[in-house]
Structure 1
Amino acid sequence: MKTRQVKVLGTGAYLPEKRVTAEDMDRRLGKPEGWVYKKSGVKVRHYAENESVSQMGAKAAFAALADAGLEAERLDCIICTNAVPEQPIPCTAALIQSEMKLGDSGIPCLDVNSTCLSFLAGLDLISYLIDAGRYDRVLLVAPEIASVGLNYSQSESAILFGDGAAAVVVGRTPAGESSGIVASRIETYGSGAALSEVRGGGSKLPSIAYEPERIADFLFDMQGEALFKKTSKLLPDFLKKLFGEGGVTLEDVALVIPHQGSAMAMRLLQRKLRIPDDKLMNIIEQHGNMIAASLPMGLHEAIRLGRLKRGDLTAVIGISAGLSLGGLLLEY
């Protein structure tokens, strides 16, 4: 696979002020002290209050632009890569553009949604346009407010999630530099679509059909054990193909950045790949599962903490509703 000449120019993040601890969740759910942390691996997550997805996204976007040393007006495209839009119409990217005071700029905006893999899918797609010279500077924003759609009667899934936003500015790799996407792969198995879903809110079950007695249809529903079993079967072959297409092995990878789905999911990935602790980016304790914001937040934190340096090869890997598996080998 030909390396796509795409470089990460800057990253940024935003977390809401409200912190919800594992102990807070124990009390909310009526569980014994320590139950939430043991089940989820999450010590603290953040919940949004009185702020929108687009407002959070704009804050992360400005942080990424500052990190890249780039003025917002110089962007060629803005892509929102999140799972839950702020509203059905228009695209959330347009709302983020407006929040950034770019509403009359004409900068094209679009959304890419592959639930938890939205950032990976968006970066994969836009990389071809950057590599081809269509765009030079693209902003990918992943803001998520998961807290509004949690079903607390499904305690083992409700305790996993947190809110937040992350953004990444990418551009064409300058001549003489080696940054780029070495390989990428996404596989979807629709036979697992019902294992992780929100049934209400679309055209099949529109908001006008909402009634209090069917609220569960409008909240997040996950069959965790079945999802884990199906993923466990698919993951080894998927990873073998991803690394094979890149012509690399785990030894060549400086850091693995997984989707922070759950502590259990990351243990599965670590075991399947035999990843040593110092090669695994694990931020779930302080963030929880932020849906599509998890992957770019992991990338942002890896760079901020110095765990990923220029020239390093990183494997960005995750699963999402669909059921989809995604992976991207990126030379930072």
Structure 2
Amino acid sequence: MKNPPAVSLPLKILSTGHALPPNRVDSSELDRRLGRRPGYVEKRSGIACRYHASADASQSELAAAALNDALRRADLDPASVDLLLYASAIAVQALPFSAAHVLRASRLPAGTAAFDINASCVSFIQALQVAGGLLNGGAYRRIAIVSADLASRGIDWADEESALIFGDGAACAIVERGDGSSGIIAGLLETYPEGIEYCEIRAGGTRRNPRAGIADSDFLFHMDGRRIFRQASALIEDFFRRLLARSALQLADLATVIPHQASHLSLEHMRRRLGVPNSALIDIYRERGNQVAASIPSALHAAFSSGRLIAGRPALLIGTAAGLTLSGLTFLP
């Protein structure tokens, strides 16, 4: 790459932050809890540890902790944020919207604009695109994007395929328009609803409720891992190629690749099938597990805080999600 590609939406990441519940769950603990031989859970899941919130912990307070962490790291005035976007897969409750709960728990002043964006595990990518459009349209000056999911609340411990991979967490990015030297290059979003039932929690909306009919299992996470991995694997390579073409980039141009931390198999697919080198790949899965929508911004925070986002060098956010949805975004830090 001779010259940095042009950005379509100027945007500057001012700060990032994250938050974890205090309860660290090592895979060795799950071996004992599930009556498995030592090393079984880590070998099957690819995870050494993850964090699970207590039964009485608040999702909105965890989200607010990540937001407050981002404000503190850059010494930003909470009143300077004029929009809060809450980008997560699971709502705090059905009504009102989750961003209102996060706003109340945060240091942002009452009256701050706020709303939710939900594209399951890739919610943060879509929120970043929305933020870019709103900043460049002049509607807002500074936007906080927060993702938080308590995946442990929906674990079905009878289903090892999904039960072993999830962790809880929250992360935040605070962005403004900047001077145009950084920003979004291109984005791509596609949904293939023939896979809609492969990954779902059926309760929480109008489809399953006390009047329409509901069972306790409807509140738990259900995944057909083999089918969803097969569907996603068949689509992701061409999706990746078209996103790079839309961005006028080649794989070698990417200094940083930040994928959804879906599973150790998905990350290995990034390495082997897509050819992403370890030097570019941000992989926090072994110490966090799959944090649902919080995975991508948590990995972004790891890259931002460790200096692995390089000014003038393209970076990529990419992931698959329930729906089945594929999302990607290239940007200059």
Q: Distance in 2 between matches of 1:93 and 1:102?
A: 12
2:3 aligned residue: none
Report runs of 4+ in structure 1 exceeding 6 Å deviation: 208-211
- CA gap of 1:283–1:2, structure 2 versus 1, over 3 A, is closer
Contact 2:7/2:183 (CA < 8 Å) preserved in 1? no
Distance in 2, matches of 1:271 and 1:88, equals 40
How many residue pairs match? The answer is 327
SS in 2 for 1:277: coil
Could you list the per-position Cα deviations for residues 68-124 of structure 1 after superposition, in whole angstroms to 9, with x for gaps in the alignment? 332111111001101111111111111111112546x31111000111001111111
Q: Which amino acid aligns with 1:266?
A: L
Q: Which residue does the alignment assign to 2:83?
A: 77
Alignment partners' CA distance in 1, 2:174 and 2:198: 33
How far residue 245 of structure 1 moved from its aligned partner, in angstroms, is 0.4
Partner residue of 1:140? 145
> SS of the residue aligned with 1:88?
coil
2:132 counterpart (122, 127, 134): 127
Contact 2:84 2:115 in 1 (8 A): yes
**Residues 200, 207 of structure 1: 8 Å contact kept:** no
3-state secondary structure, aligned to 1:281: coil
Kindly, what percent of the aligned residue pairs are identical? 37
State the AA in 1 paired with 2:273. Answer: K
Equivalent residue letter for 2:220: L
Q: What is the TM-score with the length of structure 2 in the denominator?
A: 0.95
Q: Is 1:306 paired with 2:278?
A: no
Residue type of the alignment partner of 1:304: S
Distance change in 2, residues 1:228/1:80 (3 Å): same
Which residue type is aligned with residue 113 of structure 2?
A: P
Question: How do residues 221-232 of structure 1 correspond to structure 2 at under 5 angstroms?
Answer: 221-232=222-233
Q: Secondary structure of the residue that 1:202 maps to in structure 2?
A: coil
The 8 Å contact of residues 41 and 285 in structure 1, kept in 2 or not, is answered as: yes
Structure 2 residue aligned with 1:204:
207
Of residues 269-278 and 294-303 in structure 1, the stretch that sits farther from structure 2 once superposed is 269-278
Gaps of 5+ in 2: 1-5
Query: What is the CA–CA distance in structure 2 between the aligned matches of 1:195 and 1:84, rounded to whole Å?
Result: 17
Name the SS of the counterpart of 2:15 in structure 1.
Answer: strand
Matched-pair contact (CA < 8 Å) for 1:5–1:181:
yes
Name the amino acid aligned to 1:183. A
Gaps of 5+ in 1: none
Cross-structure match for 1:161: 166
CA RMSD of aligned residues (A): 1.5
TM-score of the aligned structures, taking structure 1 as reference length: 0.95
Correspondence for 1:181 among 163, 181, 184: 184
In 1, distance between residues paired with 2:76 and 2:330? 25
